[in-house]
Amino acid sequence: MNQDVAMMREALVLAGAVRGRTSPNPWVGCLVVPEGQGPISEGATEPAGGRHAEAVALDLAGDRARGATVYVTLEPCSHYGRTPPCADALLRAGVRRVVVGLADPDPRVQGSGIERLRQAGVDVTVGVCQDQVAEQLAPYIKHRSTGRPWVVLKLAATLDGRTAAPDGTSQWITGPAARHDSHRLRAESDAVLVGAGTVRADDPQLTVRGLDGHDDRQPLRVVLGRAPLGARVHPALELQGDLGAVLDELGRRGVLQLLDEGGATVAHAFHAEGLVDRYVLYVAPALFGGDDAAPMFRGPGAATVADLWRGRILSVTPLDGDLRLDIAGAGPVPVPASVSASVSASASVSASASVSASADREA
C-alpha cells in the first residue's frame, strides 16, 4: 500500500467519526503530513457553522504545514459560506501538495477548488480512494446532485419476513444489540420518517437514545399525514402529497439522509417508486410460522420471478444473535461528472410543521 492510499484511509476514519454531526455540510477528514514524516495534525468537519476539516488540521499544524502534503477526502471549497474558502487557507499555509479523494459535486465548487490550488503552483492529486469516499459521502453526493436526500429504508423482521404478529404486537422482534444499532442509524440521519398509521399504532418517539454525545442533536421527525395531538413524535414535520415532492421538500430543508422507519404500507410505497437508496434489514432467528403476521411490504409486488428487484449485499453484521444486512442496488454509488442543483418543485406537497427548520442553510 502506498502512502497516499494509507493516509487517505486514515482521513476516511476521521470523516466517519463525525458523520451525523455536520449536516448540511459533508463529513470530511484531513491530515497534514510533512515530507518524510507521519501526520502531525488531523481534522474533521465541525458542526454547521464551525470550521471545515482543512481549517481544523491547519490550525493544529501551524507553521509546520509549510511545504507539507495535505490529504483531504473531499475537494477543498473555493467559495465563501459560513466560513472562508479552504483552498485559500491551504495557500496561506504554504502547503506543497494536496491529495484529494473526491472532487466536490456541489455546484459552488465542482473543481474550482482544485483549479485554484493548481493555478497557484500547488501539486494536486485527485481520485485517491475515490470509490470509498463516494460510498462514505453518498448522501451528500445525492443531495448536491439531485436536491433530494439519500433514503435508507430500515426493516426489522423474522426469518419468514414478518414484522408484527396478527394482533399487531411487534416489540420486540430483534434483541437489544440490534435495537441499539438502529439508534446509531438514526444518529447518522438528518430526518426519520414514519406514516401516521405507525404513530397511531406504536406512538414512537423517533429519537436517538442510549448513545453518548447525541443528546444535543436529534434528527428531524417527519410524519406522512397527521399525527394525533399528544403523540410522542411531536414536535414533528407533517407532510402530505407525492413522495417525490416530500423528498424535494426535505432536500430544501437541508436533509442529506432520510431514515424511513415506516410500516409496511409506507415501505412498499418508497420501494415501489424506486426511491430507496439503501436497505438496512435487521433479521432475528425467529419464525411466526404462518401467513397471517404482518409482512415487510403491504401492496402489490413482482408478478413473476423475472420482475424481482435484485440488490447487492454490502455487509452482514452479527448483532448478538441477530443479523444486520446492508443492501444496495446493483451498481456502485455514482460519482457525477457534472451535476445540477436545480430541483423541480412542480409537484404539490403540503406541510404542517410544529418544528422549525431552515431551508437555506449554507455550507
On the 0-12 / 13-18 / 19+ scale of CB atoms within 10 A, 349 is middle
Check if 249 is active-site.
Answer: no
Distance CA 295, CA 275 (A): 20
Cross-strand pairs, 73 = none
From 35, 42, 46, 54, the catalytic residue:
54
- Which among 292, 196, 200 is positioned nearest to 237, based on CA atoms? 196
Distance CA 258, CA 185 (A): 10
CB 223 within 8 A of CB 195: yes
Residue 195: CA count within 13 A, CB half-sphere? 14
Distance CA 280, CA 328 (A): 9
Could you tell me the three cell numbers for 325?
444486512
Residue with cell 415501489: 272
CB atoms within 10 A of CB 64: 15
| CA 300 to the chain's CA centroid | 29
Q: Which helix (H) or strand (E) holds 325?
A: strand 322-328
| Burial readout 10-20 (b: 16 or more C-beta within 10 A, e: otherwise) | bbbebbeebbb
CB 117 within 8 A of CB 91: yes
Distance CA 41, CA 258 (A): 33
Distance CA 152, CA 204 (A): 18
Catalytic amino acids? 54
